[in-house]
A = this chain, B = another copy of it.
């Protein structure tokens, strides 16, 4: 991957996150990246190709976030780490995650599949801890993680750290 190629990707990420995919023109991306507009199409084929490249990065990053949770053997620790998942994300990466959330709405891609390994790990954890309906408990945690993530990235006033602490207390973790 060339230097300019990365610059295009970085600029697209920033602008797509800030303004949205459809509201961002390829000429804007090119200007922001200080390259000719044609170069975008040379490297990524079309605008959707550019988006796909970004989406692929997202897939990889989310997998990386899950690894630490899924590999954990202590069930209590699995749930704790899941709840705290979003606390670990760098502020410099906000654009990146914001885009991922935004695109779930803009492109109608279901996030169920991506969350599947996390759901399995949580279900298993709740099962080990003797909860009556482990799968529903897992769904609930995922709902909260997603909700907290959304709130933070949308710039809500919600104190995410306090919510996580509260949840951890609620589950005796």
Show the binding face of A for B, using Cβ within 8 Å.
Answer: 20, 22-23, 101-102, 104-106, 108, 110-112, 133, 136, 139-140, 143-144, 146-148, 150-151, 154-158, 162-163, 166-167
A157 touches which of B112, B140, B144, B151 (Cβ 8 Å): B112
Q: Which residue on chain B has the smallest CB distance to residue A106?
A: B20
Q: Which one, B146, B150, B155, B162, contacts A136 given CB within 8 A? A: B162
Contact with A156, one of B110, B144, B157 (Cβ below 8 angstroms): B110
Contact B143 A163 (CB under 8 A): yes
Quickly give the copy total for this chain: 2
Known: A20-B22, A147-B143, A166-B133. Contact between A105 and B112, CB under 8 A?
Answer: no
The answer for the CA separation of A20 and B155 in the assembled complex, in Å, is 21
Pick from B101, B106, B108, B136: contact of A166, CB under 8 Å = B136
Find A146's partner among B139, B147, B166 (CB 8 Å cutoff).
Answer: B147
